[in-house]
Amino acid sequence: MTHIYHNNRCSKSRSALEVLKNSGEEFEVINYLETNPDKEELEKLIKLLNIKPIELVRKNEAIWKENYKGKTLTDLEVIEAMAQHPKLIERPIVVKDNKAVIGRPTELVIDLLK
């Protein structure tokens, strides 16, 4: 089944959700700000995305700027920061089978569903 890590306040996330609704695919919405992904879940997502943990961080968030910007962090420390502050997680993330994309731009979601 396809999953979307979704934030309804984000226009890109809403666009990705529309793509899923229109695809006819079965999918599950994970409101990650309400059900914070733990370290293990984040590690799995990062592996599926094939990126470094820092690439999943929203670096313009106040939480990042105030607490982490300019510091040298290990991958684990970056993951722990996202687990503690899910607002830092880039969105939307769409997972299908053993692949995942950050749905910016939305075309990446369309390509994943093919």
- Return the active site residues: 10
Tell me the Ramachandran region of residue 46: left when phi exceeds 0, alpha when psi lies from -120 to 50, beta otherwise.
alpha
| Integer-rounded Cα radius of gyration of the chain | 14
Q: What are the two backbone dihedrals, phi and then psi, of residue 83, each rounded to the nearest 5 degrees? A: -65, -40
In angstroms, the CA 87 to CA 56 distance is 11
